[in-house]
Structure 1
Amino acid sequence: MLAPKRSWIQQVVYLIGMYGQFLKVYVKTLVEYRADTLIAVIAGIVAQGSTLIFLTVIFNRIPTLAGWDFYELVFMFGLAATGRALNQTFFNAPFLLTGYIRNGRMDMMMVRPVGVLFQAIGYSQELNGVGQLITGFAIMGYSASHLDMAWTFLSVLYVGIALLCSAFIQFSILLTISVLTFWIQEVRSLIYPITWLYDFTRYPLQIFHPLLRGLLTYIIPYSLASFYPAAYLLRPEQYGWAVWGVPAAAMVIVMMAYFIWSQGLKRYSSVAG
């Protein structure tokens, strides 16, 4: 099937409309399976609440952690949790790639007049991310109300940009790992540990060993997806570079991941072959 010729603007509008259809199906799923949705929300509240309890216990004994106080850490945790929830809810494709290849669904996606990666993202909405998304925003709002933060239109806009960058950075890192499945048969034993590394960036990087800080900043740059955006919002005079550095880094990371994906896709051979 040949795709109709469109200008790049028409193509963007077409893809936005198509992704809207994917989201419509996702919303219908949430409404149809109300019990599952409720369980997902409760699970998200419990998961995030347990970390808040942990932080409360810690700060009952120490006033600050690496110079950050309780509500600053809660805000940092809330932004990290929200970014992860966005990634899990809308960009869960890297976890499904191996299954698409093994069950032959990749063959079907290859012959459609829309990019394979776009389809994989469209099919990947994850129900369990809903609860964490709701509680993540609630935690950010709760902590921000206890902090002396100057909220302006630009700072609110930056929160939105930072959360999108967080989701894109996480997606790109995990996509890069999952693309290895085009060369080797099993990568899930690697992709899950890489995912868990993100949990470190819910806390100030200063509390970790320099080697781990370097790993999370330059090799697997999760810190750009959570710690540095939160640090800028909390202390803009100290982390001013993050206002442009985080979006710029996210663009570079996304482009690199897409290039690696393109190279991997060239190696794909049909399961029917």
Structure 2
Amino acid sequence: MRAYWILLGAALRAEVQYRANFLINVIGGICYQGVGLAFIWAVLSRFGTVGGWTLGEVAFLYAIRLTAHGLWIVPFGQLISVDEVVRQGEYDRYLVRPANPLVQLVTRRIHLTATGDLAGGVLLLAVASLQAPVDWSPAAMAFLLLAVLGGAMVELSLQLAASGLAFRLLSTMSLKFGIDAVFNEVGSYP
């Protein structure tokens, strides 16, 4: 864990060095996810409710999914580029270094737009929780936290499994984007 935090800090310092790029990427991530929320708003403003679900309730569900997505992709976003790393021989360098190869892979860069996903998810979760009729008992809050963490772990595990196939298959990008598309398209709606 110590090596992970050291390498992650170095990657973060490298990305933050260009402040405008950092801000543009974070804002871009928020805007990208905002388009999905705008679509939900457009549909529900036209029809009022869909299957009995109001805008606040659907936004709350969307925020849970977006926060879970941000929780896995911020620290492990480099799994998307495993194909490229393996094909270019960069992974071989990780094997001769004293740190864990997976730790070196996931800390090689920070996925900046993913920080916008996480920030947007947390912000939307806070706002949507005021609009949706949510029971805020300690047990319900614990369940929400476990649901978000569980969602992040499920998506991470599928992406990690697909990334592992990069050592046997020529390309796993379509599989990874397919997994992401299923979670994005299906996971945000009731």
Report if TM-score (shorter chain) is over 0.5: yes
Counterparts of 1:1-273 in structure 2, within 5 Å, are 15=1, 17-199=2-184, 200-204=186-190
Letter in 2 for 1:63: G
- SS, match of residue 46 in structure 2: coil
Larger Rg belongs to: 1
Q: Cα 1:124–1:86, aligned 2, differ >3 Å: closer, same or farther?
A: farther
More helix by share: 2
CA contact (8 A) 2:7 2:108 kept: yes
Letter in 1 for 2:70: A
CA contact (8 A) 2:57 2:131 kept: no
Q: Take 1:98 and 1:181, find their aligned partners in 2: how far apart are those partners? A: 5
Q: Cα 1:160–1:121, aligned 2, differ >3 Å: closer, same or farther?
A: farther
Q: Cα 1:84–1:72, aligned 2, differ >3 Å: closer, same or farther?
A: same
Where do 4+ consecutive residues of structure 1 move more than 6 Å?
none
Letter in 2 for 1:105: E
Q: Take 1:48 and 1:95, find their aligned partners in 2: how far apart are those partners? A: 18
CA contact (8 A) 1:90 1:124 kept: no
Q: TM-score, normalising length from structure 2? A: 0.87
Q: Take 1:183 and 1:194, find their aligned partners in 2: how far apart are those partners? A: 19
- SS, match of residue 197 in structure 1: helix
CA RMSD between the two structures: 2.1
Q: Take 1:68 and 1:119, find their aligned partners in 2: how far apart are those partners? A: 44
CA contact (8 A) 1:88 1:125 kept: no
Measured after TM superposition, the shift of residue 124 of structure 1 is 4.9
The alignment of Structure 1 onto Structure 2 pairs a total of residues equal to 189
Measured after TM superposition, the shift of residue 191 of structure 1 is 2.1
Q: TM-score, normalising length from structure 1? A: 0.63
CA contact (8 A) 2:64 2:125 kept: yes
CA contact (8 A) 2:66 2:117 kept: yes
Structure 1: gaps spanning 5 or more residues: 1-14, 205-273
Structure 2: gaps spanning 5 or more residues: none
Measured after TM superposition, the shift of residue 30 of structure 1 is 4.2
Q: Which has the higher contact order (CA 8 A, sep 6+)?
A: 2
